[in-house]
């Protein structure tokens, strides 16, 4: 066992004494040491209950003959971090999470790892660590939050962000907003729509690194605790059979993930995370692959914020297994891939048909004959940009309008507050990219305000930053190269025409090249916004959004 290097032999007597100082017995030290990587904290609703999940996992490990050893990792709540300096740290935390798991696993010689994430950057950070370390590993998330309610209808976190704009537009009272504030998030779990957290938890299941049900079984269900126990037991089987992530995280598995992503209509953030995870596995995912698969895979689900259903509805309809069953029947995924169950993906999903065609549509009757995400290229985004086209109103799929340019999220929010954004505008928010932000903030507040003001079918937003998985409308993010790297987005001026053609995959700045060249010669980089601490180091190391915004030199 790998852990023998910290517990076996005469020279390891000091090491054993330290274990015994924590109460471990000789019998426990004789068994494999399994790291339980727990993202529990008391600031993220998706993580508040992970202590319960961890206890169940440890029970499973012990039942199967292992010794569980729990250690923590950090986690940012994107909702609480939204619309202030804190959001600069969200994406940046992904690399820190991966690094900290590497440190703990290598320093203490664990034999295997059970990863317990639930929210946005924690899941991909753990997946990156699993690929990098290549120790036997398995995932169990905390599960999705149940949908909230507001005035007799189901609702989720995105609704209250939009409610702010509705109050400002006189469409909702402050008393209504207060009522929504109390009912919109009814309890623990990752926010109830197909936002980034639930997108990544579902894709971890598709990847084959989690047991069926990981992505959709509700956080409050007893079935979630049972799944955690089974996950702990299954890790011991992976250890015995020496099944490692490198066997599962193959190019074909990533293609399956992208196919499921398109069918589910996942968050645009998956286009950042999947390439970064693939990079740790020694693979390369180009943005063009997303479009290639999107052309073949229809969008079968419209979950909040794109549609009326929530992750609990997806679970009731058969979950990720049912969706994959439908895709496999149509030859849209590869079913012969290994998974942590010890069976192939096809074997896992056999006997799991769709139980509600309204939630998971038939392939011949999709919401869209192409996938829920689209990569755009053009003179404004030579290296690519991404849009959740499944959440764009048909009226905005093709749009041309004058640019309204803002150099930060704060500037656009102030303009929206002042009523200074109008029908037809193309809002450009720049210097919010991985380096320029730094940290590539999510722009849920401005997009939600636009929706709340009733402008989501009339105004487009474009940024070198990110948009939340809870965003809907013509919101185009990840514009690359970013403004801080002298990308074309840095050259846009108020009034310039911008052309958006989502069906054609185009995003263009309609300005003559000689004018752009003159602007390029006069362009000066902005001073760094952060001059010390982790974000300063992050801004020096991070790469383009087009390659996953991972650190350079990996």
CA distance 294 to 66: 43
| C-alpha closest to that of 211 among 246, 241, 248 | 248
Q: What is the rounded distance in angstroms from the CA atom of residue 113 to the CA atom of residue 242?
A: 13
CA atoms within 13 A on the CB side of 481: 8
Q: What is the 3-state secondary structure (H, E, C) of 152-188?
A: CEEECHHHHHHHHHHHHCCCCCHHHHHHHHHHCCCCC
Which residue out of 141, 468, 499, 546 is catalytically annotated? 468
Q: Are 243 and 340 in contact (CB under 8 A)?
A: yes
Phi, psi of 417 (to 5 degrees): -60, -35
Q: CB atoms < 10 A from the CB of 519, how many?
A: 15
Residue 480, helix vs strand vs coil = strand
Residue in 369, 366, 427 with CA at minimum distance from that of residue 399: 427
Other Cβ atoms within 10 Å of 209 Cβ, number:
23
Residue 500: strand, helix, or coil:
strand
Which residues, including other chains, have CB under 8 Å from residue 494's CB and lie 6 or more apart? 402, 403, 404, 405
Q: Shortest CA distance to 265 belongs to which of 219, 312, 297?
A: 297
Measuring CA to CA, which residue among 428, 532, 521, 533 is closest to residue 482? Answer: 428
Q: Is the dihedral of CA 73, 388, 474, 191 positive or negative?
A: negative
Q: Alpha-carbon distance 51 to 41, whole Å?
A: 8
Contact 385, 287 (CB under 8 A): no
Q: Is 246 a catalytic residue?
A: no
Which positions are catalytic? 468
């Amino acid at each position: 066992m790998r852990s023998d290097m910290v517990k076996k032999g005469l020279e390891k007597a000091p090491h054993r004494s330290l274990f015994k100082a924590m109460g471990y017995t000789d019998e426990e030290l004789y068994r494999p040491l399994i790291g339980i990587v727990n993202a529990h904290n008391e600031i993220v609703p998706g993580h508040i209950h992970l202590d319960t999940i961890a206890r169940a996992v440890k029970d499973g490990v012990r039942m199967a003959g292992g010794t569980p050893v729990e250690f923590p990792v950090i986690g940012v709540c994107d909702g609480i971090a939204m619309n202030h300096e804190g959001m600069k740290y969200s994406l940046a935390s992904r690399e820190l999470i991966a690094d900290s798991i590497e440190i703990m696993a290598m320093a203490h010689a664990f034999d295997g790892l059970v990863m317990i994430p639930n929210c946005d950057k924690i899941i991909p950070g753990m997946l990156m660590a699993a690929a990098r370390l290549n120790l036997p590993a398995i995932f169990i998330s905390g599960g999705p939050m149940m949908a909230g309610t507001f005035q007799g209808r189901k609702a989720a976190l995105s609704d209250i962000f939009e409610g702010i704009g509705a109050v400002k537009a006189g469409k909702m009272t402050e008393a209504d907003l207060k009522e929504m504030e109390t009912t919109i998030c009814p309890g623990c779990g990752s926010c109830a729509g197909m936002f980034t957290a639930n997108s990544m938890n579902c894709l971890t299941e598709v990847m084959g690194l989690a047991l069926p049900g990981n992505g959709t079984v509700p956080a409050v269900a007893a079935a979630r605790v049972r799944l955690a126990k089974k996950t702990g037991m299954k890790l011991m089987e992976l250890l015995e059979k020496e099944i490692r992530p490198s066997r599962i995280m193959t190019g074909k598995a990533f293609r399956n993930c992208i196919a499921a992503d398109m069918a589910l209509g996942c968050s645009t953030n998956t286009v950042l995370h999947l390439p970064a995870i693939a990079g740790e596995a020694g693979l390369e995912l180009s943005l063009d692959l997303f479009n290639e698969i999107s052309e073949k895979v229809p969008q079968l689900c419209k979950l909040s914020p794109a549609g009326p259903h929530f992750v609990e509805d997806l679970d009731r309809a058969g979950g990720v297994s049912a969706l994959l069953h439908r895709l496999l029947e149509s030859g849209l995924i590869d079913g012969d891939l290994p998974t942590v169950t010890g069976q192939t993906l096809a074997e896992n999903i056999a006997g799991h048909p769709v139980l509600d065609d309204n939630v998971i549509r038939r392939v011949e009757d999709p919401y869209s004959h192409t996938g829920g995400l689209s990569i755009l290229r053009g003179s404004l985004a030579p290296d690519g940009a991404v849009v959740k086209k499944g959440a764009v109103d048909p009226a905005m799929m093709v749009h041309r309008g004058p640019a309204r340019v803002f150099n930060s999220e704060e500037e656009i929010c102030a303009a929206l507050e002042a009523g200074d954004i109008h029908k037809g505008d193309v809002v450009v928010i720049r210097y919010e990219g991985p380096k320029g932000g730094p940290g590539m903030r999510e722009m849920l507040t401005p997009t939600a305000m636009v929706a709340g003001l009733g402008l989501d079918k009339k105004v487009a937003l474009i940024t070198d930053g990110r948009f939340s998985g809870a965003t809907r409308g013509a919101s185009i993010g990840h514009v690359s190269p970013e403004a801080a790297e002298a990308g074309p987005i840095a050259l846009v001026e108020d009034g310039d025409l911008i052309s958006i053609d989502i069906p054609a995959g185009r995003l263009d700045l309609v300005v003559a090249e000689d004018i752009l060249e003159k602007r390029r010669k006069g362009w000066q980089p902005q001073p760094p916004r952060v001059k010390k601490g982790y974000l300063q180091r992050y801004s020096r190391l991070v790469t383009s959004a087009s390659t996953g915004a991972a650190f350079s030199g990996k």
